[in-house]
Structure 1
Amino acid sequence: MHRRVIDGRFELMERLGGGGMGLVWRAWDVALHREVALKEVRPPDPSMDEHDPAGARELRARVLREARALARLNHPHVATIHHIVDPGEQGYPWIVMELVTGGSLQDRIQRGAMSPQEVARLGREVLSALRAAHAVGIQHRDVKPANVLLREDGRSVLTDFGIAAVRESTSLTATGSFIGSPEYMAPERINGVEGDPASDFWSLGMMLYVAVEGRHPLRRSTTLATLAAVLNQEVPPPERAGALTPVLSALLRRDPAARPDADTLDRMLAAAADPGATPPPMP
């Protein structure tokens, strides 16, 4: 069977998934003889090149900037970027990443809720990845269980920072596309405010809530109803979170300024991961 080869080196084997930013493939690196994940970056509006060429150029440039910044991180909980294929004006970049084979956090949650200690440990790992990205000026904007991959040894890897590059794309208003996951998006971002690292922390909090409770507290039957619930309805107190409850309460505050900073959050998660430790004071 003939398979498509990218850049004369990466043979596409199997489509792994897709979203607002494009498709992810399992691929074979014919030079180094190893499997990799290949992300095919594409705008949400296929006609963007035609009706907004300036926006398309800016999108390409921003995708490349963010991919290069992430490639320099070398962080154990950020998916490693091996290579970037830049076709120039003829197409959008392909990002070559490590292939993480243990499934996603979403797959794990579908098998049942996790213990508060497990979730707290995972939360610290994802928080460390977010802190590393924030330190180089990148906000994730789409923290959710499907974007947390699990290595075979159980360690987590945060992936798909791509929403950051398409959020400002002018094609979004032209086509009405909705980029991101409304049930995990911070209220201020739904309201059109760019947000800051605290907005990623809301999404982290909602993800941890779902992991420990096994259900999403504000998901409704339609996207619009979910958006309205996130904007207007209080998050019901968790029932299974135990020592993780103060963390969830602190993160899921509607005022971004009231959410804990990264240092405080890490101490709170450490205490929840080790219930025998002395808990830190509430922020």
Structure 2
Amino acid sequence: MTGMNPGGPRIRLVDGRFELLDRLGGGGMGLVWRARDTALDREVALKEVRPPDAAMAEADPDGTRLMRDRVLREAKALARLQHPNVVIIHHIVDSPEHAYPWLVMELVRGGSLADRLNRGPLPVPEAARVGRGVLGALRAAHEAGVQHRDVKPGNVLLRPDGTPVLTDFGIAAVHGATALTATGALIGSPEYIAPERIRGVEGNPSSDLWSLGMMLYVAVEGTHPLRRGTSLATLAAVLDEPLPPPVRAGALGPALSAVLAKDPAARPDAEAFDRMLAAAAQATPAYGFPA
């Protein structure tokens, strides 16, 4: 993984081809790097997919091996999607010299939705358009048998033209696991985990729609309605506390209230949710109120 430039500084190479340049970020499933593909002379994003719980990996090597297999299977499924709102996977590095697989992906240069929200809430039509893009990505993934399980502002990247790109499908590889690992580590972000997943019910694509709805609520309201001082308190609030009605969401309000129902059976399906988002994107704001 390492090499030397003749007469130059030490560099880090993956698969003898991808030069790691600088760290872009990381989460429960590993680190993401900006890298240079030396064969094609272009920049890419590189992610080493590691288990979210190192202790679990050591205690359960068979489970870790299964996770690796799922990572590769689902990465291949995503690579076949060719959807404009799903991050493009160029290549998979899986060789004996690497403990975990590396995913070679497109480098999205526009920053994340989380970065954008640090500057303030989104206007309702813009939030609805972002929501439709992410929903399109989720629908394509669900049709391919892949659930995301960690939809949140940090996992939505924005291309320079504003197109949202859903990334970090790594947690999706932990199919059949609960939201908590054997050692109590969370799989997913507490404030964006759907109530049924906290209760241990997995496999419902509607859980991703709930997470998208909460992301859009935060995007237009500028605050998370159920975030509390600790992860456990946040999980308890998501499970048991009523959702405060949005006050800035305007035409998006009914869609958010519907998709954020605690009972998955009460939520609109993806097609109905998309129609609601489309209507909100086109809505004309009433005087003195957001669209």
Rounded to whole Å, the distance in 1 between the matches of 2:79 and 2:250 is 37
The letter for the 2-side match of 1:15 is R
Residue in 1 aligned with 2:150?
Answer: 142
Q: Does 1:35 align with 2:34?
A: no
Residue in 2 aligned with 1:184?
Answer: 192
CA RMSD after TM alignment = 1.7
Rounded to whole Å, the distance in 2 between the matches of 1:49 and 1:185 is 23
Rounded to whole Å, the distance in 2 between the matches of 1:269 and 1:44 is 33
State the shift of 1:174 in Å.
Answer: 3.5
Which of these residues, 39, 54, 61, is aligned with residue 53 of structure 1? Answer: 61
State the shift of 1:55 in Å.
Answer: 1.1
Rounded to whole Å, the distance in 2 between the matches of 1:133 and 1:3 is 36
TM-score normalised by L of structure 1: 0.94
SS of match in other structure, 1:236: coil
Structure 1: gaps spanning 5 or more residues: 277-283
Aligned residues: 276
Residue in 1 aligned with 2:242?
Answer: 234
State the shift of 1:48 in Å.
Answer: 4.9
CA-to-aligned-CA distance 1:184-212 (integer Å, 9 cap, x gap): 11000011100411111100100000000
Contact 1:120–1:272 (CA under 8 A) maintained in structure 2: yes
Which of these residues, 96, 100, 105, is aligned with residue 92 of structure 1? Answer: 100
Q: Does 1:2 align with 2:13?
A: no
State the shift of 1:44 in Å.
Answer: 2.2
State the shift of 1:3 in Å.
Answer: 1.8
Q: Does 1:260 align with 2:268?
A: yes
CA-to-aligned-CA distance 1:135-159 (integer Å, 9 cap, x gap): 0001111000000000011111000
Residue in 2 aligned with 1:107?
Answer: 115
Structure 2: gaps spanning 5 or more residues: 1-8, 285-291
Residue in 2 aligned with 1:155?
Answer: 163
Residue in 2 aligned with 1:279?
Answer: none
SS of match in other structure, 2:169: coil
Contact 2:51–2:57 (CA under 8 A) maintained in structure 1: no
CA-to-aligned-CA distance 1:30-67 (integer Å, 9 cap, x gap): 00000000011111233555432211211110100010
Contact 1:167–1:179 (CA under 8 A) maintained in structure 2: no
The letter for the 2-side match of 1:86 is D
Instruction: Give the direction of change, closer, same or farther, for the CA distance of 1:89–1:25 in structure 2 (3 Å limit).
Output: closer
